[in-house]
Chains A and B, each alone.
Chain A
Amino acid sequence: MEKALRALRLISLVSWLLLVSFIGLNIYLAATGQFWIYISRPFSIRYKNITKFVAYVRIINKGFFDIINLDLKASLLDREGRILCENSTRIEEVRPGADMLLSIVIYLPLEASGAGGPLNMTIIASMIYAYVFPMDIKASFKVEAPAALSSPARVLR
């Protein structure tokens, strides 16, 4: 009985130590910037009445664990919070050692031009890190609507 109790104690101790080391290692990797998601400020490009909003997302994974089910979603909202347009992309797996730069682009259609004023671009990156940490990173940026879109009269003309 004593032997069985000692074995159970050892199993428990090893399990707790493994769990604490796993959490500690992940905190260390995040704190030292070896696992990092960076969302750049979006900028706009206008060509023949179509406006493109482009944002870059940099994913650094220098740790030991995969990033799985990475979903990137960008939405453009007007002042009232209505979605004007959105775009999303999905990456199944980001392996350790990866340093990726992804661009996410939103095309603002002409029919959505009635909004006017500053717009709000929201970028959400959802992923599962190290198989047990599902996480969301959400960044919202104020973007200026193109000049033609900020004045309905000019669009109609």
Chain B
Amino acid sequence: MRPVSFVNSRVGVKVLRALLAGSSAFVLTYLVPTLVFPEETVGSASQTMIFFSSICVFFSFAGELTRGTLAFFFIDIARGLTMIYFFGSTASAGGLSFQIPMNGALADINIDLSILMLIVIALSLFDISRSLVKAVHYYIKKREAEEIMRLFYAYMRKAEEEKEKAYRS
């Protein structure tokens, strides 16, 4: 009965941490920008912000839930690829455009984010490759630990058999 409750409490803590990570991602990527930036700026970019925030919330939640397993690294890679897709599509849409009143007329401001997006994509690719190396390293370490345990059990079994043989003789 005790091990089950121990496992349940560990899962509970994991889910709680994942919920906390998801909600903090939502606060940082959606709530804070809507409070900080002027309404007219956010209004024109709200769809993009919601999309970006959803990506961050989902991957923070899933990443925290799978922490300590091999799936964590694959989620990290998937996050990098999704971010590249997101930034690529945002940059190809022409960057950030908004209007501000200027002397009784409306001035159109268009900021081309393609150079910035290239930097972000380069950093994301670096993170993806880092996650791949981490995943391979984690897998090798896991297999190594399994192999050591297998050898240890085999050695113990052999030692027991020898002990039993010696006892019989």
* Chain A positions near chain B (C-beta within 8 angstroms): 1, 5, 8-9, 11-12, 15-16, 19, 23, 38-41, 131-141
Contact = CB atoms under 8 A, between A and B. Distances in A.
B123 A133 contact: no
Contacts of B107: 39, 137-139
Nearest to B114: A134
B141 to A, nearest CB: 9
> Which applies to chain A's interface (DSSP): helix, strand, loop or mixed?
mixed
B7 interface: no
B134 A135 contact: no
8 contacts: A5-B130, A39-B102, A39-B103, A40-B103, A133-B116, A136-B109, A138-B108, A141-B103
Given A5-B134, A19-B123, A141 B105 contact: yes
Contacts, number: 65
A11 to B, nearest CB: 8
Contact of A8 (B102, B108, B116, B130): B130
B35 interface: no
Contacts of B109: 135-138
A1 B134 CA distance: 10
A12 B133 contact: no
- A19, A40, A134: most-surrounded residue (chain B CB, <10 A): A134
Contacts of A23: 116
Contacts of B162: none
B143 to A, nearest CB: 14
A131 B120 CA distance: 15
B104 A41 contact: yes
A9 B130 contact: yes
B166 interface: no
Contacts of A141: 103-105
B39 to A, nearest CB: 13
Interface in B13-67: none
Interface string B98-141: 00001111111111111110011001001100100110010000
Nearest to B138: A5
B133 A8 contact: yes
A15 B123 contact: yes
A12 B116 contact: no
A139 B107 CA distance: 4
Nearest to B116: A132
Contacts of B110: 135-136, 138
Nearest to A28: B36
A137 B108 contact: yes
A140 B107 CA distance: 7
Contacts of B114: 134
Q: Return the 3 tightest CB-CB contacts between A and B, nearest first.
A: A139-B107, A134-B112, A132-B115
